[in-house]
Amino acid sequence: MKQREKQNSSANPGGADEGAQEGILTRKHEWESTTKKASNRSWDKVYCVARSGRLTFFKDQRSAKSVPEQTFRGEPPLELKGAQIEIASDYTKKKHVFRIKLSNGGEFLLQCHDDAEMQQWVTALKAQCELDASGEGRSLTLPASSQKDEQKRRSFFTLKKNLQ
């Protein structure tokens, strides 16, 4: 664990990107979208970097540091905004597996070395989801829509009262 903390601190010398997480995980792409299974559902060992509300996959740590624009198989980073991160307790074929469900319906399984590492990743990824969502703030969006509904109701009843 100390090595991972060291990696995080060296990747973030100013500490500006607090909550960033990186390390080697085994990944399986399950779903492209809610209706389409992924074409390649094999397990791949990848170097993962969670930063700024995104999760990016690389072939290894060296390529992540030297050529960060060259992602694993040229895949774009996963946008974690609106994603659900949960321990995959229903997945019994491998141990220490958690699931990422993206807002577009895509789904990935990620396997860690042990339970402690899995908890660390789940916590870090959930923080990354919130970090990205905080820009718009879900709490700001919900009251605005409920106020609209109230206005609609009021205008309906107001209209009735005006007719009488």
Q: Is residue 146 part of a domain?
A: no
Check: CB of residue 93 under 8 Å from CB of residue 141.
no
Q: Measured between alpha carbons, how far is 24 from 30 in angstroms, rounded to an integer?
A: 19
Residues 47-104: tens digit of each pLDDT? 999 999 999 999 999 999 999 999 999 999 999 988 999 999 999 999 999 999 999 9
Q: Is residue 147 part of a domain?
A: no
**Per-residue pLDDT, 6:** 39
**Per-residue pLDDT, 129:** 86
Question: Domain containing 76: what range?
Answer: 20-133
Q: Is residue 152 part of a domain?
A: no
Number of domains in the chain: 1
Q: Is residue 154 part of a domain?
A: no
Q: Is residue 110 part of a domain?
A: yes
What's the pTM value of the predicted model, to 2 decimals?
0.70
Q: Is residue 126 part of a domain?
A: yes
Q: Is residue 54 part of a domain?
A: yes
Check: CB of residue 64 under 8 Å from CB of residue 22.
yes
**Per-residue pLDDT, 48:** 97
Q: Measured between alpha carbons, how far is 57 from 60 in angstroms, rounded to an integer?
A: 9
Q: Is residue 47 part of a domain?
A: yes
Q: To the nearest whole number, what is the mean pLDDT of the chain?
A: 79
CATH number at residue 91: 2.30.29.30
